[in-house]
Structure 1
């Protein structure tokens, strides 16, 4: 018998709320989206700042929940088995005893804590950006190391150094979805994968939990860390107040869910060892399911704890992926947008549909340019970069522009640049994961996977089959629904989720485009090496 759940995908720029049916497949019955602000740099009052307003998250969640229920009136709120979450990870949400935010949450993109990371770990004799003795201690307990300025430890230390009055008010340190769980249920909890994302989590078998030796080493008060729960566990119930604001039934079960790095692969159906998925949303990444912890400190890659306790996700991240196409839409394709609006009209009553149609139109523009963009190469580092090199000074660029270069070549080069970076991360990953008999095909998901031209470009650049599932922009919510399905026994394990999420279309690589893409890819990799010092001069 079909079961109905409500799943929330809380991203960097908006929330996607889905009413989902779980039966022989996991099927989205209705969805709604609502945006919110991202406050960066001068809007935060500090260079490198990246913050959001937790009340805006909650407002967007309430709006979209009611909208989804309105779209699917045949399903009553009392029929919903539970709610679950997928969200951006490595945020810092500091709350007091009443559950109120002490300050605006910092996002995973925040890179203000440069002095804090220097004092905490990036000093003395270093390997991969970390002082040697601390690096070894980290690897012993956690299997990873907090050597990125964007890691939440250093944001926490920044608050301690710069906002002492706020620091004194801290009751618990939460991540994004954990705050939403608190708002729904009144429970202060954190799931295993989010706990690992703090890089304060002991991953040794039999010792799983908050790691006091690491907390003491980096100066974190372990009392600030909440109770840890499983992603598939019921962690609470919707309170009366939250039920009234959301339009859901009081007492509806709230499940732990997971972070986007944990659940997007699940929602894409990449759940077995060796399965690889590529995600292109605001940020992007390459992830491969592995049976053990792996780390490549030099490339800032590690096998992270996920929603499945039996496996890990070997993970490499790009800070700005499909966000680059948002930049194109806002700053480069203005003439094309004018043509689009004139040709297709302006539908103020359905902005989401208009946005999809606009991106479809930009896909038509991309197809007018030749593969390889006539030698133009774009670097997608619009907010620094993390893998396979960590550099907050790295920035985007167009390289090799001539008088005959047109806007179509520039727009196509942006898509190719994102795909080149995915290839770079995947090739570095394969140095570690090839022994697990990785699949030739990769699952491509996120908003970037909505465009057929983008999917084909990725297949051509990777020279691998690219598989896309239904509603690839909503697979975070599908992964969150899977947590409920496993938690209630509807599905036996996370591995079995793959059977419920088949690929809808497969793109095969065009071998005729291999040579031009191999050539441009070599140039792409050289651009960072040749410009590292220039980035430091301009942005350091």
Structure 2
């Protein structure tokens, strides 16, 4: 195939998905391939990954997509990344990691956070001076134990030998860019996620004052670039390893919180998208910096210069469905929703266990007979920050079966999205029609349930599971000059299907939702006792 192509690497929590796109007046997916890798969950709250796993997964999947599409590496006009964010990758002067990646899920820096921001006169539990200064300079504040500042400080305190080797502080994507180009850079959205970036209009640089305030070595922070900026070309070593051409242009790309919205086509002011993958969030494009400290929602720097995403995060979204599949539908003692293995034999009609699971609950009662599930299986960030919060099945009776429990889990995930959506709407109006993307959005059943629970019209784009890679590819197209504006991206991404809310279901969902919102407050101290 003789045509211009783009390689986009979606670097997720559980694996890499590599997508090969043909670039004409639109982006056409030619091939995709995935490779999973582990995450180590440690007893002290740590969550780590081996950075070599990312690099090896890129090599493996690159070979597969080029082979499947029968595309020569000579046709690759550019590569870029959409990546998990708020990881901490500390490397030496040769770009070799001094330790494993500390994932965004890492929660072990509680002491460092308390020492750094929870002393003195406080507002909402945060040192008043540091809160107000951070809000003024960055538009947000490092108020979560999972924020990269506290991971950095944890390494400084607990691993001094490793810390003394550090030359650069990267996020996951920036580490891979360095492996590709031997350049130390960071895109502005990644920089914002460190909460050391001055995001005021006309600034757009590292804040020397905040670095001094929090005890961060400014020399560890790399050069800042825009998402569509060309960093450099693949080095001989990287090109040989990946099976690509030396000098292939590498672009900045963006984090998942930036580029998934771009890939959803939510790029204009006021556009809202909902993402449901391993984690989840609500994002609305805005030109205003604003923050809701109580709800933990803030305007974060996106890939488009001068625009922000008003952003509220859900810690575990699709991950809850993975838990349901493994422990309710397909569990350790070999009990299934039906007394057969639906993937066995030539007559299997379901593409996946998830599809079978969703189909099996289609006739269950909306509202799950009053059973409510809280999707906080790994703590929560928004609208409350509590790493000790956990999942609850509330109001189970003798008549509650597995199918009702599974439906309750889906409803609980979507109730939490509604909660964030309604809180978001108080500061930045959300759009009446919402783009729903991520792997969970492949289910028509869940799309309709999301419309019913939120009362919003829901649109799904083509390939909703690949929107991060689509966003990264669109950024490359911008960088190469193949398209001129972000509005051009929106026109390139067609809507696959639309769902409208069923007003007859509003009373039951409103009733359950009103209880759902109260379950955290009534159990907060119990979580603290059980999970300390």
Range class of TM-score, shorter chain = over 0.9
Alignment of 1:189 onto 2:185: yes
Partner of residue 66, structure 1: 63
Partner of residue 218, structure 1: 214
State how many pairs are aligned: 527
* 1:2 CA displacement: 6.1
Matches of 2:99 and 2:339 in 1, distance apart? 41
Partner of residue 37, structure 2: 36
Structure 1 residues 354-409: Cα deviation after superposition (integer angstroms, max 9, x where no partner): 99521111111221311111111000001100001111111011000001100000
Gaps of 5+ in 1: 348-352
> What is the TM-score with the length of structure 1 in the denominator?
0.95
Partner of residue 53, structure 1: 50
Q: 1:340 to 1:271 in 2, by over 3 A?
A: farther
In the TM superposition, 1:95-494 aligns within 5 A as 95-334=91-330, 339=338, 342-345=341-344, 357-434=352-429, 438-494=430-486
C-alpha contact 1:449 1:473 (8 A) present in aligned 2: yes
Structure 1 residues 431-453: Cα deviation after superposition (integer angstroms, max 9, x where no partner): 0012xxx4211100001101111
Matches of 1:354 and 1:66 in 2, distance apart? 30
C-alpha contact 1:368 1:408 (8 A) present in aligned 2: no
Alignment of 1:530 onto 2:522: yes
Structure 1 residues 69-94: Cα deviation after superposition (integer angstroms, max 9, x where no partner): 11100x21111110000001000000
Secondary structure in 1 matching 2:323: helix
Structure 1 residues 464-496: Cα deviation after superposition (integer angstroms, max 9, x where no partner): 111101111110000000110111111112232
Secondary structure in 1 matching 2:155: helix
C-alpha contact 1:346 1:354 (8 A) present in aligned 2: no
Matches of 1:396 and 1:482 in 2, distance apart? 37
C-alpha contact 1:329 1:337 (8 A) present in aligned 2: no
Secondary structure in 2 matching 1:425: helix
Q: 1:337 to 1:65 in 2, by over 3 A?
A: farther
**Residue range with higher mean Cα deviation, 241-250 or 417-426:** 241-250
> What is the TM-score with the length of structure 2 in the denominator?
0.96
Matches of 2:187 and 2:450 in 1, distance apart? 33
Q: Which runs of 4+ in 1 moved over 3 A?
A: 335-341, 353-356
Matches of 1:465 and 1:321 in 2, distance apart? 20
* 1:6 CA displacement: 0.2
* 1:265 CA displacement: 0.4
Question: Per residue, is there more helix in 1 or in 2?
Answer: 1
Secondary structure in 2 matching 1:388: coil
C-alpha contact 1:340 1:358 (8 A) present in aligned 2: no
Secondary structure in 2 matching 1:433: coil
* 1:67 CA displacement: 0.5
Secondary structure in 2 matching 1:180: helix
Matches of 1:210 and 1:174 in 2, distance apart? 14
Alignment partner for residue 87 of structure 1, among 78, 83, 89?
83
* 1:242 CA displacement: 1.3
* 1:503 CA displacement: 1.0
* 1:341 CA displacement: 6.5
